[in-house]
Amino acid sequence: MSGPSFDQPGVPRYDLSGPGFPQPGAVPYLTVRAAREAIDWYTQTFDAELRAEPIVMPDGRIGHAELSLGSGVVYLAEEFPEMGLLAPQPGATSVSLMLPVADTDVVLTRARLAGGRVERWTYEGHGRRNATLIDPFGHRWMLAGPLAQATTVDGSAPGV
């Protein structure tokens, strides 16, 4: 028994070089060990905006927070082991979050200086300037920005 063919006639291929990203139909809900610190990190590093005051549980843990991030939304909460909700263990991330950015190099540098770990340095592919990092809370972010605005860490154009 053979698996499905991924090169079928009449099935369109993804066009990753187009002007926009798909609008998500699902909202990521991140579990973190330190929600207050995570909210600060995402707002300072990715320019996320807190949509409302987080819901704080009687024991002091943040039970729910919403961040506007680019054209999307991310929810997050502290760990609730009693409900089976645990933050990722180091080196055990199972989900990647694609984040469209205006300038991949600038965001990657800001993330690295704020404690993010670069998993893949900037590269050009699929019509975008890309990079991958793990945030201090264990979540993998795949940054993707336009080629036209790509700069190096020192602000010069690539290849100059």
Q: Given this model, what pLDDT does residue 149 score?
A: 53
Distances (CA, A) of 18 to 36, 145, 146, 147: 36, 12, 10, 12
As its CATH architecture, domain 90-160 has Roll (3.10)
Do 26-87 and 90-160 come out as alike in CATH topology?
Answer: no
Pick the CATH number of 26-87 from 3.30.230.70, 1.10.287.3510, 3.30.720.120, 3.10.50.40: 3.30.720.120
Single-letter amino acid code for the residue at 31: T
Domain boundaries, the chain: 26-87, 90-160
Q: What is the pLDDT of residues 8-51, one digit of tens each?
A: 566 555 554 555 555 566 789 999 999 999 999 999 999 999 99
Q: Given this model, what pLDDT does residue 83 score?
A: 93
d(CA 53, CA 40): 13
pLDDT along the chain (160 residues), means of 10: 52 54 74 96 96 95 94 93 92 87 95 97 92 96 82 55
